[in-house]
Amino acid sequence: MEDRYPAELGDALIVGARAKLEQAAWNGSKDDSEFSRFHVQDASDGMLTIMDLPQEIQFLLPRTRLLDQNLDLIAWYHSELEDCKRKDAEYDLASISESDAELLTSQSSTDSDMPPLESVSDSDNEEECADESAAMARFIREVIQENARIFIRRVMAPRQIGDLLGKGASLILEVSQPYPGDERAPYDARRERPRFNVEQVSHNCYVVADEYFHELSVLPLEYLRVPTFSLAC
């Protein structure tokens, strides 16, 4: 086997999930570095860890959910991302409120030693700080609500993941090209389009269609469950 062929299939579900996320986030650039935003790996107890590298955040997703062909993975990701941002905003708001409370307490203890003549001015300062804190809270709530509206508009279109095992296998076959004998493929077949189509035809069997040679190959489902299976060979 030549070095350019992957020795192992890897996890087709992980490959398919990452490809789906990268496709949704891709900005159209031809720079390969722009197509490396996500990392997906196994976690414990049947979970997967999905990492958004530029955002420096990660989420957990049950592996079994990727077997649901109606799952909208992009909507799930945006929901998790917005929830994370909301929690961060709530934390920031709580920190602001605590700081204001400490400031007011400090001012109150200091001002208690002031002559009675200054009490009117101190009261005005406390009210001003309270007004600023309330205004900041309203601003943060408005930002959260606007983010929610953007999120809803962004995920209205259905983006079901479909069969990630089949899609992951197709992707692995595509990126492992060329294969021995490809030079004999009809020239018209070598167009810029997907070459391989992997579809499940029964509960335990897939069929691999090669558009170059118009060939069909049977691929047992159990093979796709084995990460060490060498699909490209």
Give the contacts of 74 (CB within 8 A, at least 6 positions apart). 20, 21, 24, 155, 159
User: Distance (Å, rounded) from C-alpha 136 to C-alpha 142?
Assistant: 10
User: Distance (Å, rounded) from C-alpha 217 to C-alpha 198?
Assistant: 9
Q: Distances from the Cα of 171 to the Cαs of 10, 176, 211, 222, in angstroms?
A: 12, 9, 14, 18
Domain region containing 145: 84-154
- For the chain, the domain total comes to 2
pLDDT per position as a tens digit, 120-144: 455 666 677 777 777 777 776 665 5
> Per the domain annotation, does 3 fall within a domain?
no
Q: Where does a domain end: 102, 137, 154?
A: 154
- The mean pLDDT of the chain is 73
> Per the domain annotation, does 106 fall within a domain?
yes
Which residues does residue 205 pair with via DSSP β-bridges, in sequence order?
Answer: 202, 220
Residue 206, pLDDT > 90, answer yes
> Per the domain annotation, does 78 fall within a domain?
no
- Do 170 and 210 sit in the same domain of this protein? yes
Task: With beta carbons less than 8 A apart as the criterion, state whether 41 and 48 touch.
Answer: yes
Q: Where does a domain end: 154, 187, 212?
A: 154
- Do 44 and 101 sit in the same domain of this protein? no
- Do 58 and 90 sit in the same domain of this protein? no
Report residue 231's pLDDT band, with 50, 70 and 90 as the boundaries: confident
Q: Where does a domain end: 108, 125, 154?
A: 154
> Per the domain annotation, does 195 fall within a domain?
yes
- Do 150 and 95 sit in the same domain of this protein? yes
Nearest Cα neighbor of 171 from 192, 194, 202 is 194
pLDDT per position as a tens digit, 75-114: 899 898 888 888 877 766 666 555 555 555 555 555 555 5
Q: Distances from the Cα of 225 to the Cαs of 10, 38, 41, in angstroms?
A: 9, 23, 16
- Do 21 and 42 sit in the same domain of this protein? yes
